[in-house]
Amino acid sequence: MSERVAVIGVGWSGYRPVSPELSYKELMYEAAVKAYADAGVDPRTEVDSFVSVAEDFIEGTSIFDEYVPDQLGAALKPVHTIPGDGLHGLATGVMLVKTGQAHVVAVEAHSKASNVLSLPEITAYAQDPVLNRPLKLNSEFIAGLEMHRYMHETGTSLEQCAAVAVKNKRNALNNPLAAYGANWILDDALNGPQLAWPLIKSQASDHADGAIVVVLASETRAKVLSDRPVWVLGAGWCNGAPSLESREWGTVPYITKAADMAYRQAGIDNPKEAIKFAEVDDTYAYKELMHLEALGLCGRGEAGSLTEEGMTKTDGKLPVNASGGSLGMGHLLDASGMSRALEVVLQLRGNAGDRQLAEVDIGLAQSWRGVPTTSGAVVILAN
Amino acid sequence: MTSKIKNFPGTPLSESDFTEGKVLSIHDEMRPQFAWDTGIGIGSYLAALKEGYLLGSHCKTCEKTVIPPRTVCEWCFDPMDSYVRLEDTGTINTFSLCYVTWDVQRITEPELPAVIEIDGASPLHGILHKLGEVKPEDIHIGMKVQAVWKPAEEREGAITDILYFKPIKEAGS
Ligand SMILES: [Zn+2]
C-alpha cells in the first residue's frame, strides 16, 4: 500500500485542429508506441493493466472499452475505460499500483473532437433533460453565467481575463504540440464575436485532436525501468452539486476539495510555497483565474491582478500553462487534463524544449470536465 | 392465476394516458452526428473495396495475415505495414439466421449474417457479412462462399460494396 508510484513513460500524438490522415485508433497507437519506448517496456509482457478514458456519447460508439485494446497492446489483458478526464484515469492507474493489483499500468486519453460533427448538441446532453435542456440554450451560456458571477464577486476585469488568453496563446508558440499559438496583444483577446456575454469567442478555447499515453510503475519497478522517474505525490478528484439552480456560481469548491485531497497525500501544507509551476484548466480564460484561486495558489480575487503583473508568465514566480493551455494547445475534450500532466512531466524531466522552465521540482496539473459540470481533478508530480 | 383477478389494485395506466398528457414525461429526439476518419489501415481497406478487391495486412513477426488490414498487430504490437491483396472467396466459420430486423420487426425469411474466413488470410481471420443466393437450410459451417459485388460504378468505398457472399458450387457437387 505504501509504495510510491512513478510516471516512467509518456507519449503523445497531435495536437491538431483536424487529423483526417489517422483513425482514432491510429492516433492512440502513435501515442502508445512513444510512451512504451520512452518507458522501455513491452506492453505485451510488461504492462499489467490498461486504463483509458472515454465518453461513449463523444466517441459515437457504446461501450467504448471494446475499441481500446488492440492499439494499446492490451488484447487479452486487464483493460477498463472510465468516463472521466485523463486525470481521473491517472488517479485510477495510481490506485491500481497502490493496491498492488498491478506493477505497471498504461493510461490513455484522446480527443477526436473533429469527428464529433454535432459537438454542441452532444454537450447539451449533459444538461438536465427535464429542467434545463427544454430551454434550448447553447451550453456556453453556463460559462457566461459563471464568468459574470465570478467577475461580480471578485472584481476581476475582462482585461484581466484577456491577459490569460494573451499569455497562453504566446506560450503555445514555444510548444510544438500546440495547435493554436498566436502572438496576441490584449486587443486580440478583448475583441471578436460574443458567445455568452461576458464571454467572448477569443477567450474560449477551440478543440483539437490528439492522444496521450502515460506509463505508471510501482517504486520497485520504476527504479529498475527508469533513470528519471517522475513521482506522483498526490491525486485528488471531486464533484460539486450539479444543479444549475443552486450551485455556487462565483467559486469552484470542488476544485478546492480535489486539490486538498492531492495536497494531503503529498504532505503539502502551503501550496503557494510548494508548487513551483502549474498547468490548470483554461477552457475559458476566466477559468484559469478561478482555478488558481480555488487551488490555493493565490488569494481569492487576486488571480487577475497577479496575471496582469506577470506572476504566471514563464519567467514569473508561478508559471501557469507554459504549455499554452487549452487556449493555446487546443481543447482536447477529456484528454485535456492528461495533456497537462504530460506537460508537467516534460518540464520536470527537463524535456520541455524552448518552453523549459528553470529549476522546477514540483508541479501541479488540474482538470475540469467543462460545462455544465462541477467535476475536476488534481495531480501533483515531482522529481 | 392473474386471469382470475377481475380488478387489480391501484390505478391502471393506458398508452393514451401518456399520449394525451395525463401522465407527465419529457420526450426528446437526439440528433447526434459523427464522422470517423478511417485512417491508414481501414482507409486502405475501403479504397480496395471500391476497386473491387479485398485487402489484408501482414505481420512479419507473427506471420499472420489479417483482414481488415490494421496498422498495429494486436498480438505482438509491431507495426503492420505490409499489405496483401486477398481472394474474395472464403469459408463460413459461423452463421446465424436472424428473424428480427435491425429496427426490431419480425420477419419470416431470415437475414443471414456470417463470419467468413477469407482465403489467403490466416486461419480464424475473416470478415463479417451476409449470405445470399442460398436457402437457410442449405448453409453449413465450412461452406465455401464468394463475394457478390455491387457494379463498379455504384461502389463507394464501404463494406456494403459487397452485396453478400454466395455459395461456390464445389467441384463434383
Ligand atoms: Zn504480430
Among A155-159, A361-365, B20-24, B40-44, the least confident range: B20-24
| Per-residue pLDDT at A2 | 66
Q: Do A44 and B26 touch (CB under 8 A)?
A: no
| Per-residue pLDDT at B83 | 97
Asked if the model's pLDDT at residue B1 lies above 70, the reply is no
Average pLDDT for B98-118: 95
Does A173 contact B at CB distance below 8 Å?
A: no
Does B24 contact A at CB distance below 8 Å?
A: no
For A319-332, how does the pLDDT look when each residue is reduced to its tens digit (9 = 90+)? 999 999 999 999 99
- Among all chains, which residue has been given the C-alpha cell 494499446? A72
Q: What are phi and psi of A88, to 5 degrees?
A: -65, -40
Computed over every residue of chain A, the mean pLDDT equals 97
Beta-bridge mates of residue B1: none
Are residue A191 and residue A221 in the same domain, yes or no? no
Give contacts of A117 with chain B, Cβ < 8 Å.
Answer: 33-35
| Per-residue pLDDT at A227 | 92
For residue A267 the three cell numbers come to: 504532505
Tell me how far apart the alpha carbons of residues A160 and A166 are, in angstroms, rounded to a whole number: 10
Average pLDDT for A119-131: 93
Does A155 contact B at CB distance below 8 Å?
A: no
Query: Closest chain A residue to B36 measured between Cα atoms?
Result: A115
Question: What is the number of structural domains in chain A?
Answer: 2
Q: Do A21 and B39 touch (CB under 8 A)?
A: yes
Last residue of a domain, one of A178, A198, A230: A230
Does A29 contact B at CB distance below 8 Å?
A: yes
Does B12 map to a domain?
no
Asked if the model's pLDDT at residue B173 lies above 80, the reply is no
Does B101 map to a domain?
yes
Does B74 map to a domain?
yes
Largest pairwise CA distance in chain A:
57
Are residue A49 and residue A152 in the same domain, yes or no? no
What stretch of H or E contains A150?
helix A140-154
Does B19 map to a domain?
no
Question: What is the number of structural domains in chain B?
Answer: 1
| Per-residue pLDDT at B171 | 59
The number of helix segments (H) and strand segments (E) in chain A equals 16, 11
Q: Do B43 and A23 touch (CB under 8 A)?
A: yes
pLDDT bracket for residue B65 (50, 70, 90): very high
Higher pLDDT, A232 or B170: A232
pLDDT bracket for residue A304 (50, 70, 90): very high
| Per-residue pLDDT at B2 | 66
CA–chain centroid gap for A296, Å, is: 18
Find the CB nearest A115 among B30, B35, B74.
B35
Query: Closest chain B residue to A121 measured between Cα atoms?
Result: B32
For residue A259 the three cell numbers come to: 486539490
| Per-residue pLDDT at A214 | 98
Angle between helix A285-294 and A158-172 (nearest 10)? 100
pTM, rounded to two decimals = 0.95
Are residue A360 and residue A249 in the same domain, yes or no? yes
Does B159 map to a domain?
yes
Q: What percent of chain A has pLDDT over 70?
A: 99
Domain range for B48? 39-167
Does A71 contact B at CB distance below 8 Å?
A: yes
Give contacts of A125 with chain B, Cβ < 8 Å.
Answer: 30
Does A123 map to a domain?
no
Query: How many Cα atoms sit within 13 Å of A381 on the Cβ side?
Result: 32
- Say how many Å lie between the CA of residue B70 and the centre of ligand 1: 11
Query: Closest chain A residue to B74 measured between Cα atoms?
Result: A70
Average pLDDT for B42-51: 98
Q: What are phi and psi of A242, to 5 degrees?
A: -75, -15
Residues near A375 by beta carbon (within 8 Å), at least 6 away in sequence: A84, A85, A237, A238, A239, A240, A254, A368, A369
Q: Is the dihedral of CA A100, A101, A103, A108 positive or negative?
A: negative
Asked if the model's pLDDT at residue B5 lies above 80, the reply is no
pLDDT bracket for residue B26 (50, 70, 90): confident
Q: Is the dihedral of CA B88, B91, B93, B94 positive or negative?
A: positive
Asked if the model's pLDDT at residue A307 lies above 80, the reply is yes
- CA angle centred on B47, ends B45 and B51, rounded to 5°: 110
Domain range for A308? 128-207+232-382
Query: How many Cα atoms sit within 13 Å of B66 on the Cβ side?
Result: 18
Q: Do A25 and B39 touch (CB under 8 A)?
A: yes
CA distance A124 to chain B (A): 10
Residues near A156 by beta carbon (within 8 Å), at least 6 away in sequence: A150, A286, A289, A301, A303, A304
Does B155 map to a domain?
yes
Does A356 map to a domain?
yes
Query: What secondary structure does DSSP assign to A329-346, as a single string?
Result: H-B-GGGHHHHHHHHHHH
